[in-house]
């Protein structure tokens, strides 16, 4: 770095002498010839005229000899123009005194580095970096023994080197840069080559495909190196063990180079080390061990993505020279130590994406360590994103007067946003999203005149949006979405926001009242106002927004038609969401949109023919509208880029066009359900090989299920229920190993349920074949479906017995208490919510978001026989069990009580016999029970939870008796006969029983009332106890139905 500065200084000196000498004729002629081979589109060499070449652009001469010593033709506008190109002519070698040659950042379009450069015997400085050269670096460059600065870094990775042995001759070399040069063939010999260059001070070998071990145990000659850059290589080795021997080292960069293991002993003791970059390596060390040591002069400590763990040690405060501490994306836990307040020079602190806990230590805002200024008064960047911090945001944040960026999102901070933040005049970024902040937005935020980024989304903020936020003229990003903000927004809230690019107000209760002729001062790119009240009219102010790319007006109370002018500004829109409004009328056909856009217009009142956009798009959701007519064949024009197509719940008719399978090869979700479509399922849908969701339910489709659907290797859910489909299950279905849902119910399918349905479907959760004409026995292989939660084979013609291994459904053998039913989503904002209908009490209930909590077996309405399968008791997570309308015999086992999650239990219209087990009273979640029309006998165990069911649950069993039936059991009469006086006494006893209970309860309640009203904690405990006692007493009384005669003598 020092050498580079000297070189630039030398150039300035040469420039000062350029007007004082005339160049040599031979040098001028050589330069003219050199120019003739160059292409100069920017006309930089226009000054190369006349006799005095020392005055030409980029040419510097020696003041005493008039010889050209510097040719500096580097491109000063590297990222704007291409620069010089063409050929480099050998006439350059005639410049016998040339010491400095710079052709960097030009565009020589892949020509090789000229082999004749080795003839420049006095060359000290050679810079060919990013100049478009390719091929092998000439080894004869090693002949330039005077070379001190050598830079052939490549942006295009087109330069290669087989060996660095030639470089050992560059005995004067101080600066070496081979960034981007392919050194993969060199192996570890690069270390040996560098060790032969004793004057080397700067080494830059990033992006060189270096690999293998970097260990070296010989004598170290290059101990004067100050800068080493080995970043972005593939070493897969431990960090170099020779680095601690380089006492002059100031800068070491080994980022993203697949180093592993800890930091070797000695790194921390390097007396001059100021900059250490190790991010992106698998250091896997305790942060305590990493920071242990002197680190005497360390200023920049950068260890992102290093698998560090443990707690920050207190001696981190000893690194008093630190200006930059970056430790994000590690596994550091615990609290921030108070000693960090000693880092008085710290400007950059990034501890994001760790597991830090606790609140922010007050020491950061105190002055005890850094008198006379406060701790962290130099801090400009503070990033604690994605940790586990709690507590309120401290007021001392307002004392960080130099702070530019404050990033605290994805934590659990609560309370209010400190008003003191409004005093941070340099603040440009405030990111506090996804915390638990509440109360209102402080008015002082309007004082942050330099603020450009403000994000407080996904909190619990309430109140209104401060009007003075509209005065922040530098603000480009404003996101207050997903809070509890309310109130009216007027043009004052936006009056000075001329730089605004992103405005997100979604998921609040804000009302926008803006004049129809209002013209916003901004031109936003991202505009999100979902769930704000914008209607009933379509917002006219949108007409002025010509740069909108992402627009969300969903659930915005708009009950208007989409005006024609909107389609003139829509050509830049990449994401459009007008869903959940009451938009009316029809859409232009075709309508204007940006290529590869995503369009969501679901849940509106749009009608007319199905519109098709005029360009290829990624997603189209027009579901739940009133579109009618056929699906146009031109839908195939949306081509292979379309991932999501939902036209469900409209009034579409006709056949599914075969063009869907001819052009929409990129489809992942296809939902045409709940229309009036007819005809066969196109066989070429099997060409949509990326399809994961196919939903055609509730149409009038007929024919057979095409075998070609078995080509959909990634299919996860298929819904064909409520159609007129016939035939058998396609054999090709056994290839669909990723299936999670098969719903073919309510069709005309026939044949046996093949045994392969139980094999190879490890993820299958739902198998619904109800209301078809399947016959034969239940395949025992179904029990292999380890993920199965819903098995619905009701209303078929199945016979035989229920297989004994049906108690092995693994997903039903435990309680499903985690709702993991996330929707299928390929693109942001576009999803398919899995759904299933389950029949309970003769009615169909749709399960969507809570579907993963449901477990169900429904085999009703078949011809099954045999005894009630005792193995069912193993399915302790079962919620719905329906075996009704079969020919099942035997008894209900006592172990049925193991099904504690059972909410619906139907065994009606079978041939079951024997007593109803009393253990069923333990099924406390049972909401529906039907044991009617069987041959059960004996007394109904009307105890516990069974007392909640009416007589209809037990009717049609001639041998059953007792409550709630009106049929008395044998012996009931003799037990109840006696004198009138005894009956009357019983009635009196009952009355006295309830009277005593009431008086006792009242006394127990009123006596301690006043004490309990004063002492809240006692009150909570007492009434909780009282509720428990009352509940148990009533249950006990209900079970025993005791009279006062049996109870009173114990008083």
Are 948 and 802 within one domain?
yes
Structural domain total, the chain:
4
pLDDT in tens, 468-494: 999 999 999 999 999 999 999 999 999
Averaged pLDDT, 869-881? 94
Spell out the residues 6+ positions from residue 107 whose beta carbon is closer than 8 angstroms to its own.
Answer: 75, 82, 83, 84, 85, 131, 132
Give dist(CA 608, CA 603) in Å, integer.
15
pLDDT in tens, 610-658: 998 888 899 999 999 999 999 999 888 877 789 999 999 999 999 999 9
Averaged pLDDT, 104-123? 95
Are 572 and 590 within one domain?
no
Residue 275 lies in a domain: no
Please check the confidence at residue 598 and state whether its pLDDT lies above 80: yes
Strands 251-253 and 237-238: unpaired
pLDDT in tens, 648-701: 999 999 999 999 998 889 999 999 999 999 999 999 999 999 999 999 999 999
pLDDT in tens, 516-540: 899 999 999 999 999 999 999 999 9
Token pair belonging to 427: 């603040």
Q: Would you say 159 and 130 are in contact if contact means Cβ atoms under 8 Å apart?
A: no
Residue 1026 lies in a domain: yes
Give dist(CA 532, CA 525) in Å, integer.
19
pLDDT in tens, 259-283: 999 899 899 999 999 999 999 999 9
Are 722 and 789 within one domain?
no
Are 942 and 837 within one domain?
yes
Residue 668 lies in a domain: yes
Which among 646, 691, 683, 632 has a CA at the least distance from the CA of 662? 683
Give percent of the chain above pLDDT 90: 78
Per-residue pLDDT, 11: 46
Question: 543, 577, 611 — which closes off a domain?
Answer: 577
Q: How would DSSP label each residue in 424-458?
A: -TT--EEE--SSEE-SB--GGGGG-TT--EEE--S
C-alpha dihedral (710, 713, 715, 719), degrees to nearest 10: 0
Are 702 and 816 within one domain?
no
Per-residue pLDDT, 377: 77
Long-range CB contacts for residues 730-737, cutoff 8 Å, separation at least 24? 730/704, 730/705, 730/706, 731/707, 731/756, 732/707, 732/708, 733/709, 733/757, 734/710, 734/759, 734/760, 735/710, 735/711, 736/709, 736/710, 736/712, 736/761, 737/713, 737/761, 737/762, 737/763
Question: 956, 977, 998 — which closes off a domain?
Answer: 977
Per-residue pLDDT, 504: 98
Please check the confidence at residue 826 and state whether its pLDDT lies above 50: yes
Are 666 and 693 within one domain?
yes
* Kind and range of the H or E run holding 287: helix 287-291
Are 539 and 614 within one domain?
no
Quickly count: other Cβ atoms within 10 Å of residue 1025's Cβ. Answer: 10
pLDDT in tens, 56-72: 999 999 999 999 999 99
* Kind and range of the H or E run holding 259: strand 259-260
Q: For residue 627, report the phi and psi dihedrals to the nearest 5 degrees.
A: -65, 145
Give dist(CA 784, CA 434) in Å, integer.
43
pLDDT in tens, 407-446: 999 999 999 999 999 999 999 999 999 999 999 999 999 9
The 3-class SS string of 802-851 reads CCHHHHHCHHHCCCCCCCCCCCEEEECCEEECCCEEEEECCEEEEECCCH
Averaged pLDDT, 502-513? 97
Are 520 and 642 within one domain?
no
Are 571 and 659 within one domain?
no
Residue 57 lies in a domain: no
Averaged pLDDT, 356-370? 73
Task: Specify the residue for token string 């049906």.
Answer: 806
Q: Compute CA distances 134 → 155, 382, 797, whole Å.
A: 10, 43, 75
Token pair belonging to 305: 């993505």
Residue 366 banded pLDDT, cuts 50, 70, 90:
low
Residue 748 lies in a domain: no
The top-scoring range by mean pLDDT among 130-144, 627-641, 1015-1029 is 130-144
Residue 193 lies in a domain: no
Are 992 and 966 within one domain?
no
Which among 392, 378, 437, 428 has a CA at the least distance from the CA of 407? 428
Residue 239 lies in a domain: no
Token pair belonging to 952: 């209809």
Question: 577, 606, 622 — which closes off a domain?
Answer: 577
**Residue 161: is it exposed, middle or buried by C-beta count within 10 angstroms (0-12/13-18/19+)?**
buried
Are 922 and 1032 within one domain?
no
The lowest-confidence range among 7-21, 73-87, 242-256, 268-282 is: 7-21
Residue 685 sits in a domain whose CATH number is 3.80.10.10
Q: Is the dihedral of CA 687, 692, 698, 704 positive or negative?
A: positive
E-strand ranges in 83-225 read: 85-86, 100-102, 125-127, 135-136, 149-151, 159-160, 175-177, 202-204
Residue 824 lies in a domain: yes
Domain encompassing residue 999:
988-1050
Are 825 and 968 within one domain?
yes
Rounded to 5°, angle at Cα 943 from 940 and 944: 140
Q: How would DSSP label each residue in 499-526?
A: T--EEE--SSEEEE---TT---S---SE
């Amino acid at each position: 770095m020092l050498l580079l500065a000297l070189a630039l200084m030398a150039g300035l000196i040469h420039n000062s002498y350029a007007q004082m000498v005339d160049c040599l004729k031979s040098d001028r002629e050589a330069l003219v010839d050199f120019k003739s081979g160059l292409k100069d589109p920017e006309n930089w060499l226009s000054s190369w005229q006349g006799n005095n070449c020392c005055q030409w652009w980029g040419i510097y001469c020696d003041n005493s000899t008039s010889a050209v010593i510097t040719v500096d033709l580097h491109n000063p506008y590297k990222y704007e123009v291409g620069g010089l190109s063409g050929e480099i002519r050998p006439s350059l070698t005639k410049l016998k005194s040339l010491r400095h040659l710079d052709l960097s950042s030009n565009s020589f379009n892949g020509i090789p580095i000229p082999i004749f450069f080795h003839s420049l015997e006095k060359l000290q400085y050679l810079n060919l970096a990013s100049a478009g050269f390719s091929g092998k670096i000439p080894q004869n460059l090693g002949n330039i023994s005077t070379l001190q600065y050598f830079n052939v870094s490549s942006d295009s990775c087109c330069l290669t080197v087989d060996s660095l042995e030639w470089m050992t001759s560059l005995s004067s070399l101080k600066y070496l840069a081979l960034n981007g040069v392919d050194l993969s063939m060199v192996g570890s010999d690069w270390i040996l080559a560098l060790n032969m260059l004793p004057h080397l001070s700067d080494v830059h070998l990033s992006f060189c495909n270096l690999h293998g071990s970097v260990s070296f145990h010989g004598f170290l000659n290059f101990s004067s190196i100050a800068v080493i850059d080995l970043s972005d290589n593939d070493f897969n080795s431990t960090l170099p063990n020779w680095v601690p021997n380089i006492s002059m080292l100031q800068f070491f960069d080994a980022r993203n180079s697949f180093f592993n293991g800890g930091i070797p002993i000695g790194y921390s003791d390097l007396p001059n080390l100021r900059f250490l970059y190790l991010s992106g390596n698998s250091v896997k060390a305790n942060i305590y061990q990493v920071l242990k040591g002197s680190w005497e002069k360390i200023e920049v400590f950068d260890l992102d993505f290093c698998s560090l763990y443990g707690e920050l040690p207190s001696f981190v405060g000893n690194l008093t020279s630190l200006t930059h501490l970056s430790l994000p994306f590690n596994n550091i836990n615990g609290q921030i130590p108070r000693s960090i307040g000693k880092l008085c020079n710290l400007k950059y602190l990034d501890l994001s994406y760790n597991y830090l806990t606790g609140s922010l230590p007050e020491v950061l805002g105190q002055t005890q360590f850094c008198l006379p200024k406060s701790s962290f008064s130099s801090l400009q960047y503070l990033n604690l994103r994605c940790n586990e911090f709690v507590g309120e945001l401290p007021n001392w944040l307002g004392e960080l007067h130099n702070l530019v960026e404050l990033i605290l999102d994805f934590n659990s901070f609560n309370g209010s946003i400190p008003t003191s933040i409004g005093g941070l005049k340099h603040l440009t970024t405030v990111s506090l999203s996804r915390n638990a902040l509440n109360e209102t937005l402080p008015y002082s935020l309007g004082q942050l005149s330099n603020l450009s980024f403000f994000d407080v989304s996904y909190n619990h903020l309430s109140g209104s949006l401060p009007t003075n936020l509209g005065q922040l003229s530098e603000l480009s990003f404003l996101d207050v979405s997903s809070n509890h903000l309310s109130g009216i927004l007027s043009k004052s809230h936006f009056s000075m926001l001329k730089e605004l690019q992103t405005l997100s107000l979604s998921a609040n209760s804000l009302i926008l009242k803006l004049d129809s002729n209002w013209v916003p001062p901004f031109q936003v790119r991202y505009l999100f106002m979902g769930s704000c009240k914008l209607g009933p009219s379509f917002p006219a102010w949108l007409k002025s927004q010509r740069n909108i790319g992402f627009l969300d007006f969903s659930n915005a109370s708009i009950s208007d038609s989409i005006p024609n002018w909107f389609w003139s500004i829509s050509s830049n829109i990449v994401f459009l969401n007008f869903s959940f409004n009451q938009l009316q009328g029809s859409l232009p056909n075709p309508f204007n949109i940006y290529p590869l856009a995503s369009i969501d217009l679901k849940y509106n009142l749009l009608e007319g023919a199905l519109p098709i956009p005029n360009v290829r798009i990624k997603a189209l959701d027009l579901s739940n509208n009133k579109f009618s007519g056929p699906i146009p064949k031109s839908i195939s024009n949306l081509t292979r880029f379309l991932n999501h197509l939902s036209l469900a719940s409209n009034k579409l008719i006709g056949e599914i066009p075969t063009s869907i399978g001819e052009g929409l090869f990129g489809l992942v979700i296809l939902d045409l359900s709940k229309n009036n479509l007819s005809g066969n399922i196109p066989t070429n849908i099997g060409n949509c090989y990326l399809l994961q969701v196919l939903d055609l339910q509730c149409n009038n489709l007929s024919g057979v299920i095409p075998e070609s659907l078995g080509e959909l290797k990634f299919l996860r859910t298929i819904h064909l229920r409520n159609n007129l489909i016939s035939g058998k299950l396609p054999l090709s279905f056994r290839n669909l190993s990723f299936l999670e849902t098969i719903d073919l119910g309510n069709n005309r399918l026939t044949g046996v349920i093949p045994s392969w349905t139980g094999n190879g479907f490890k993820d299958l959760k739902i198998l619904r074949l109800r209301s078809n004409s399947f016959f034969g026995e239940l395949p025992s292989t179904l029990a292999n479906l380890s993920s199965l939660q819903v098995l619905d084979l009701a209303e078929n013609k199945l016979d035989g017995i229920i297989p004994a291994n049906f108690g092995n459904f693994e997903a039903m053998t435990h309680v499903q208490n985690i709702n993991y039913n996330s929707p299928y989503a390929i693109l942001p904002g576009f999803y398919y919510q899995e759904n299933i209908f389950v029949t309970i009490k003769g009615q169909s209930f749709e399960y969507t978001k809570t579907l993963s909590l449901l477990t169900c077996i429904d085999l009703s309405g078949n011809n099954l026989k045999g005894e009630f399968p005792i193995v069912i008791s193993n399915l302790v997570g079962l919620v719905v069990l329906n075996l009704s309308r079969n020919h099942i015999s035997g008894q209900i086992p006592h172990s049925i009580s193991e099904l504690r999650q059972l909410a619906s239990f139907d065994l009606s219209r079978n041939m079951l016999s024997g007593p109803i087990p009393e253990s069923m009273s333990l099924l406390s979640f049972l909401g529906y029970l039907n044991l009617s029309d069987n041959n059960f006998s004996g007394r109904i165990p009307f105890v516990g939870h069974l007392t909640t069911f009416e007589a209809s649950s037990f009717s049609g069993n001639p041998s059953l008796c007792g409550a709630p039936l009106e049929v008395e059991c044998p012996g009931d009469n003799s037990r109840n006969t006696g004198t009138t006086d005894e009956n009357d006494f019983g009635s009196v006893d009952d009355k006295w029983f309830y009277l005593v209970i009431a008086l006792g309860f009242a006394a127990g309640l009123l006596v301690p009332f006043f004490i309990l009203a004063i002492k809240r904690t006692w009150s909570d405990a007492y009434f909780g106890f009282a509720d428990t006692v009352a509940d148990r007493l009533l249950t006990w009384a209900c079970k025993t139905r005791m009279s006062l005669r049996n109870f009173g003598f114990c008083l």
